[in-house]
Amino acid sequence: MTSGTHPIRTYTTLIGLALATAANIGVSQDFDSFGRSEVLPEPEGDWVFVDYSLVDVADDRFLGLIGVAQTRRPAAIEYSPDGTSLFLVETFYTRGNRGERTDTVTIFDTHTLGVAGEVVIPAKRALLLVVEGTLALTDNGRFLGVFNLTPATSISVVDIEKREFVGEISTPGCSLVFPAGELSYMMICANGDLLTVTLDENGGEVSKERIERFFDPEADPIREPGVRYGDDWLFVSFDGMLHTVDVSDGMPRVGESWSLLNASDREQNWRITGRQPLAVHQQSGRLYVLARQNDEPLDDPADWDGTEIWSFDLATRERVQRLEARPASANAGGAGATLGSTSGDGASNILVTQGDEPLLVTAGDTGISVRHPLTGEYVHERLENAPASGWLTLRMP
Amino acid sequence: MDSRNWFDRRFETGARYMARLTSRRSFLTRLGTLLVGTASIPLLPLSRAAAQAADAGFKDPDIEGDAGDPMSCNYWRYCSIDGFMSPCCGGSASSCPPGTEMSAVTWIGTCRNPADGNDYLISYNDCCGKSPCGQCFCNNNEDDMPAYVTARSNNINWCLAHSTTAYNSTVALVLGRADG
């Protein structure tokens, strides 16, 4: 074989080029402009963040990625009231994983998913793998609370209107932060109390008040991932009790707790499980939960996928529907059997979109499923254009 | 590999075995309440130096099989561990791999030593300052508590009090008799 160019081949190439050029002469060709990036249109109701990836779950379309520096942490996202910004907390070191630490509330543009600003906060933010309770925007949409753990517990308050750090509020013995009224946060205390932190109009501390014994952490602790239903926060306990807190008037009121498991369920050892076990469709008052059977109580229900999705009418407290949870992995093992996975035999995260025609979204280690919640009919048994799994956050319209 | 998940699992579980028996639960509840209740002062659950000193005085008795093997996930001290076992990463059950620092704060479990049938307090200190070791992941979760019970939860990155919060691996120090 010669290394030189064969004369006949060169000749043929030249003819080809000439023909191609001739063909273009009579055709209008639009040339691409350089440097263009997409900007997202106004959001649709079925856009969901899977950690940092924005996905249209109705159309199975990957829309973009939030430009965070560290994608390896699950995302706790809050939105500005006008929907143009979203907020995340980030931690940086000047030399990658060492050097001086800086924590920021980073502001992202919801249409470009790029950075639109930042507020430096004390380098104390809690590094948890729990998502719910790490970041909370007061219901008036003004003050962002960041949960700190050093291991002293506190909240850093950020004014998102002025884009400045306001101050730090010490919250001894109480952790996680949830919105709880126009200018209030709610926290869960290690002894089962609830702490209400109330701010003034400038974000300064006005009061801290405790409600004693919301639950008994020794007998049956509640799990961290609460969901909001109107003015209520709903939390599920390890033993399947649903606890309710009404935060409508700035001072939480504890409602009656009730069991998601009936006598028969308990006899059959059903448990409420999953990393993100609860979702609520606001309009219909339907609660969706992940459940599985396990002979023994689970030490950490988050490690275990739900094999079924149960739907409850929150008004009547009746279970109205049972669906098989998908997707299931062929190589399902016990929790901890494989690094980086849950039990793999169902769904670990659940979310329902809002509006008249909601979609039920579940994520497991092997993919994300989308279905009509009322019929259980699949829209997508497994999304092709989405991450395999992750924390699910609705993109607020 | 999605390191979010290992991290999640790493910190979502652990400190569980301690509460298996009522007496343990009572003891550790008091401990946890004390620690959390005073958390406005940066009181460390157990200082690194104290933990090391405690471990230096404890000799593992001869235990047959995996329960006596620090390289095994079934090693008796690992009943509440959730992370990469230090001996697989260049350290030992009571020392961190080269160039990492032992966390100053930690979560506490109680494990039963099969050699003498006694329960011991085990301090699961993280080794901090380098990226995850990736070897010998061990996820023995007993009686983990949610993150709001901070001293008994490994939903928390226990490298939190360090100059860097990078997590590498975990040791299991014997602090003393849980029932003594």
Span A95-135, pLDDT tens digits: 988 899 999 999 999 999 999 999 999 999 998 878 889 99
Residue of chain A minimizing CA distance to B152: A190
> What is d(CA A299, CA A11) in angstroms, rounded to the nearest whole number?
75
* Distance separating alpha carbons of residues A360 and A279, to the nearest angstrom: 9
CB contacts under 8 A, A 376-395 vs B, are 388-390
Residue B146 maps to which CATH number?
Answer: 2.60.30.10
What is the pLDDT, as a whole number, of residue A40?
95
Q: Where is pLDDT greater, at A258 or A346?
A: A258
ipTM attached to this prediction: 0.84
Q: Are B156 and A176 in contact (CB under 8 A)?
A: no
Select the highest-mean-pLDDT range: A235-244, B61-70, B161-170.
A235-244
Q: What residues of chain A, 268 to 297, have a C-beta less than 8 Å from chain B?
A: 275
Q: Is B60 helix (H, G, I), strand (E, B) or coil?
A: coil
d(CA A282, CA A288): 11
Chain A residues within 8 A of B131 when measuring between CB atoms: 97
Q: CA–CA distance from B34 to each of A98, B107, B111, B152 (Å)?
A: 32, 14, 21, 12
Q: Chain A: nearest CA to B25, how far in angstroms?
A: 8
Closest CA of chain A from B54, distance in Å = 22
Q: What are the two backbone dihedrals, phi and then psi, of residue A169, each rounded to the nearest 5 degrees? A: -115, 120
Backbone angles phi, psi at A332, to 5 degrees: -60, 140
CA distance A111 to A113: 6
For chain B, the maximum distance between any two Cα atoms, rounded to a whole number of angstroms, is 45
> For chain B, what is the domain count?
1
Q: What is the pLDDT of residues A316-366, one digit of tens each?
A: 999 999 999 976 554 444 554 444 557 778 899 999 999 899 999 999 877
Q: Report pLDDT for B2.
A: 36
The answer to whether the Cβ–Cβ distance between B10 and A126 falls below 8 Å is: no
Give the pLDDT band (50/70/90) at residue A28. confident
A14–chain B Cβ distance below 8 A for any pair = no
Nearest to B149 by CA among A123, A243, A220: A220
pLDDT band at B8 (very low <50, low <70, confident <90, very high): very low
Residue B80: per-residue pLDDT: 85
* Model pLDDT for residues A60-69, shown as the tens digit of each residue: 999 999 988 8
Instruction: Tell me if A342 sits within 8 A of A349, measured CB to CB.
Output: no
What does chain A come to in residues?
Answer: 397
Written as one letter, the residue type at A381 is E
Domain that holds residue B20: 3-177
The Cα angle at residue B114 between residues B109 and B119, in degrees rounded to 5: 35
The mean per-residue pLDDT over the stretch B163-175 comes to: 90
pLDDT score, position A338: 41
What's the rounded Cα separation, in Å, for the pair A350 and A362? Answer: 4
- The single-letter DSSP state of residue A237 is B
| A chain contacts of residue B8, beta-carbon cutoff 8 Å | 74, 129, 275, 302
The answer to whether the Cβ–Cβ distance between A151 and B150 falls below 8 Å is yes
CB A158 within 8 A of CB A146: yes
Q: Which helix (H) or strand (E) holds A89?
A: strand A85-95
Quote the distance between the C-alpha of residue A323 and its chain's center. 22
Give the catalytic positions of B in this structure: 107, 126
Distance from C-alpha of B135 to C-alpha of B138, rounded to nearest angstrom: 9
